[in-house]
Amino acid sequence: MSVENIAVLTSGTDAPGMNAAIRAVVRTAINNNVRIWGVYDGYRGLVDDNMEELTSISVADIIQRGGTFLGTSFCKRFRTKEGRQLAYENLKKHNIDALIVIGGDGSLRGAEEFERETGFSVIGIPATIENDIWGTDYAIGTDTAVNTILQAINEIRDTAKAHRRTFIIEVMGNKCGWLATYSAVAGGGNMVIVPEEEYDKEKIINKVKTLHDGGKSYLVILASEGTGNMQELVKELEARTGISTRLTVLGLVQRGGSPTANDRVFASVLGEQATLAAISGLHNIVFGMQRGNIVCIDLRDAITNKKEYPEDLRHLAEVISL
């Protein structure tokens, strides 16, 4: 069966570079004489039949923008069998042959369940700053988020040095310590706290003492969200070491901003490859990168396997933090 209509949506939390991926999907489809439909507000748009055909002009002037011009959401109705059936009927109503889903772990899980349940052809593109998708070294948005964190580290280090303080910088991660670890290595962090390791408060306090006694007048510690109560750690560090300590939670600033060149190019390549695959009749797959090469991964494998923590980077962070 020839593919004549493809739909694209962004789902879950936004990530810088999503617009670049959408742009590539749209223009690749048009270049191959395939009609392309944009679904607004993620899976909610599928359920509500909120979609329209896009043109090349529709995606002009978006490659440099963060967020997603299609909008995104968390749709409870799509999590029900009735909601997914309605989404299927809406796609068929527009004679759409394949769906490209741009999003993170939860979005890809929804895509896999949708195809398994309805038989509708789905292809995934990983887009999440947490970089927690199995089978790909990077996801769209990760590089931009790291650079945002590095900017914060640079600025916080200035005030840390001025006041002889220890700063704990909490970054996002969604139970994955990649973002904190990578940022610690790139940003010269003195310590990294991640969910992949047991939260050992005594070990952290002792290392802060050791580094301080060894001549470090200020410290920058990277902590992944959900690893422990950082407010309590700050209080105990101050009480037991006498070192002025502060916590900075970067929060949603990590998700925003204009995507880096790396994210724009990566998103464009994945968008093109996903669209060409859909046109060729491939489905139930997700595209990613391994050792610099674009790869095609089974969608179910991507959502059922846990991404390995980069122990080599963790070791490097430890070695060069002295």
| Feature table: binding site | 23-27, 104-107, 157, 165, 172-174, 216-218, 225, 246
Other beta carbons less than 10 A from residue 43's beta carbon:
28
- Enter the tokens of residue 140: 């769209």
Q: Are 276 and 32 in contact (CB under 8 A)?
A: yes
Residues comprising the binding site for Mg(2+)? 105
Side by side, the strands of the sheet bearing 121-126 are 51-53, 35-39, 5-10, 98-103, 121-126, 285-290, 293-298
Q: Which amino acid is it at 88?
A: Y
C-alpha 131: how far from chain center: 5
Q: Which amino acid is it at 231?
A: Q
Q: Are 23 and 102 in contact (CB under 8 A)?
A: no
Residues comprising the binding site for ATP? 104-107
Distance CA 55, CA 59 (A): 7
Residues comprising the binding site for substrate? 165, 172-174, 225, 246
CA 68 → CA 12, 22, 71, 149, 251, distances in Å?
Answer: 11, 8, 5, 21, 19
